[in-house]
Amino acid sequence: MKIIPITVPFPAAFGIGKAANCYAIKDDQTLLIDAGWDSPENRVALKKGLESIDAWPPETILLTHGHIDHFGLGGYLHELTGAEIMIHKKDAYMLDNYEDYIREWYDKAMVDAIEGGFEAKELEDVRSKLLLVSKVMLKPTSYTEFEELKIELKGGTLKAMNVPGHTPGSVAYTIREEAFCGDAAIENTINVQDLKQEFLSLQKLKVFKNIYPGHDRLPLHSQDIEALETHFINRLDDVMIACRNGATLRQIVEKMYFAGSRDESLIKTIFPIKQTSAYLHYLEGEGAVAKKNGMWFALRGRL
């Protein structure tokens, strides 16, 4: 079995994300884990890239989760080659109507944001940009959803392991000592939806020797996963400090991410707001913070 990473760029025009790490697995079958952002340049580059490593056409496209920078080219590859697209049941709906998914995701954040002191017009520009992006993508015409998945390869049994946190249907594809985890473990991530689940998922990932993430440096090892856990705990402490004397969501986000200078780009607005809300909801669940009249208060010194 051979594992070959392929990086698929994030179009600069959108300026809101990072190149995706996709992985070709060559064994008695050729599998592709994630497909990257769909753009005319990426279509050509991914096909050429896979051909150059003798991994064309892939027989199966395994998606780690339902985000556009991971499944995007899946629709195109499926049309061109007939490769089967596989995704966990809980993320499958994102492939059907990405626009609805984004709208729901965004509008939930808007409710928290507006209650927390942001103004709708500050966030609307980014919202319309994201909705536009989801309109122009090619939707996969068919896919197979699973709750459990096993694929027998000559080099071992590939299995899907649910690692929710980033999205409910995030999976790591595991084979022997390797795990391909998509965005379930991204260094210093600011895109975790459910931190409680994320901590449990990191426990599951830690036991693998090589952990291949969906962005940035690869592979990660158990000490990198521990560093990510420490990062989250430090950030939770930062949130507790920020609301020691009571603070709105906006004040907490600004303390956590902007430190005075406010950057209007997407990565610096909606994601920090969502991430800070995720920290607050985790802390609320632990009984460490409480909300009163739109202000968050720390109920003790540290988590």
Interface residues toward Zn ion, by CB under 5 A? 67, 183
Integer Cα distance of 28 and 1 in angstroms: 8
Nearer to Zn ion, 190 or 242 (CB): 190
- CA 43, 49, 55 angle in degrees (round to 5)? 110
Nearer to Zn ion, 65 or 268 (CB): 65
Nearer to Zn ion, 67 or 88 (CB): 67
Shortest CB 120 distance to Zn ion, Å: 25
Shortest CB 237 distance to Zn ion, Å: 26
In the chain, % helix, strand, coil (3-state, to 5) comes to 45, 20, 35
Sheet holding 156-162, edge to edge: 150-153, 156-162, 171-175, 178-182, 210-213
Q: Nearest residue to Zn ion, using CB? A: 67
Nearer to Zn ion, 67 or 90 (CB): 67
Sheet holding 20-26, edge to edge: 2-8, 20-26, 30-33, 60-62, 84-88, 144-146
Identify residue 15 by its one-letter amino acid code.
G
Packed helices 222-242 and 195-206: angle between N→C axes, nearest 10 degrees: 160
Nearer to Zn ion, 23 or 56 (CB): 23
Shortest CB 183 distance to Zn ion, Å: 4
Cβ atoms of residues 65 and 170 within 8 Å:
yes
Nearer to Zn ion, 56 or 212 (CB): 212
Shortest CB 6 distance to Zn ion, Å: 17
Shortest CB 123 distance to Zn ion, Å: 20
Shortest CB 64 distance to Zn ion, Å: 8
Shortest CB 271 distance to Zn ion, Å: 11
Integer Cα distance of 81 and 76 in angstroms: 9
Cβ atoms of residues 31 and 55 within 8 Å:
no
Query: Of 36, 33, 83, which is closest to residue 62 (Cα–Cα)?
Result: 33
Nearer to Zn ion, 30 or 201 (CB): 201
Phi, then psi, of 287 in degrees rounded to 5: 70, 25
Phi, then psi, of 254 in degrees rounded to 5: -65, -40
Nearer to Zn ion, 58 or 213 (CB): 213
Cis ω before 57 (30° cut-off from 0): yes
Shortest CB 133 distance to Zn ion, Å: 14
